[in-house]
Amino acid sequence: MFISIPSDIEAALLDLPLPEWDLDGPFLAKATVERYRTELRTAPKFEETVTTLRHALTGEGGGYAVLRLGNLAKALGAGDNRFLRLATGFAAEVAIPFSPFPKWPLWKDIGVKTDKDPGKSSGIGYNAFHMDLVNATLPPDYTTLLCVRPDPLGSGTSILSDAHAAVARLPEDTRALLAEASYHYGTFFDLHGVGDECKPFPILDGSAPGEGFVRFTAKMLKRSALGQQHADAAQALAAELVRGQVSFMLDAGDYLIVNQRRFLHGREALHSGQDAVPVAERRLLLQLLLRAPGYAGPA
């Protein structure tokens, strides 16, 4: 699931004249997508790399990939606009980049804030398995994280787990409880392109085995009032997700893309001592959300 970029592609990508992107509402404009695609496909073996990426995300047994863009990040600067345009171009080959948050740019900063809830993405604690925008009727099909700076203290391991494989290991009566619309989590306001609020929601949406979203966030086990049977069923799923997890560290320039219809993601806790790390040196990720091809427009 780790995809390195051949050196001849890297050399060609460094000099591509990719313009600033434009948005059409919350979505990357089609004209920008077409311009990026035209330029990127002049790089040798680019299409072969994209084919490998798509297979890793949607092929049998797949569901996530890490594009190793570290050399490009080092040459251009991981937070440089030219590098972000290249990463956006790769993302647009998979699906449609968009920002459901009107107050945020296309790429959303996820830094380290020691005064935040430790379990949040910007906190310093364990960020348990979840899907992004779990309570939207149209959650993003993909969530992506671009590592600008790894944690200088060497922590913050990314964790992923095959949600459908975890569900398949559960007994039938537990799966039946997970299919009931008895779960809720979080707030929902001022969002674009993700439909309406889904409350309450089923964790399993009735799709065929191995298909559809597993609409889960472990955070609801502590932060939502659930009936005991449904809480126990969700806890059983959480345990299976942990049992089947894979983990790895993201380095500067690594671009993690997760198919939310297959995998859930999270992060191990950061080491203590984050207060002593200057803000400008702390772990920094940039998040970009993607809508699957064929999406007709905002709901």
| Count of alpha carbons within 13 angstroms of residue 185, beta-carbon side | 20
Nearest to 64 by CA among 141, 127, 1: 1
pLDDT at 209: 77
Q: How many CB atoms lie within 10 A of CB 179?
A: 15
The band of 1, judged by pLDDT with boundaries at 50, 70 and 90, is confident
Instruction: Look at residue 284 and tell me if it is in a domain.
Output: yes
The residues, any chain, with a CB within 8 Å of residue 106's CB and separated by 6 or more, are: 21, 23, 28, 88, 97, 98, 99, 288
Instruction: Look at residue 296 and tell me if it is in a domain.
Output: no
- For residues 236-245, average pLDDT: 98
- Domains: count for the chain: 1
pLDDT at 153: 97
Instruction: Look at residue 159 and tell me if it is in a domain.
Output: yes
Nearest to 79 by CA among 281, 267, 273, 269: 281
pLDDT at 43: 95
Whether 295 shows a pLDDT value over 60: the answer reads no
Instruction: Look at residue 217 and tell me if it is in a domain.
Output: yes
Top-confidence residue, 207 or 145: 145
What's the domain range around 274?
2-291
Instruction: Look at residue 299 and tell me if it is in a domain.
Output: no
Instruction: Look at residue 297 and tell me if it is in a domain.
Output: no
pLDDT at 178: 97
49: domain CATH number? 3.60.130.10
Instruction: Look at residue 51 and tell me if it is in a domain.
Output: yes
What is the token pair recorded at 60?
């049998």
SS3 131: coil
Q: How many CB atoms lie within 10 A of CB 229?
A: 13
SS3 136: strand
Chain segment 122-141, per-residue pLDDT in tens: 999 999 999 999 999 999 99
Chain segment 140-190, per-residue pLDDT in tens: 999 999 999 999 999 999 999 999 999 999 999 999 999 999 999 989 999
Whether 296 shows a pLDDT value over 70: the answer reads no
Residue 130 φ/ψ, nearest 5 degrees: -165, 165
Instruction: Look at residue 298 and tell me if it is in a domain.
Output: no
Chain segment 5-14, per-residue pLDDT in tens: 999 999 999 9
- The chain-wide mean pLDDT, for the chain, equals 94
- The distance from CA 130 to its chain's CA centroid, rounded to whole angstroms, is 10
- Residue type, position 113, single letter: K
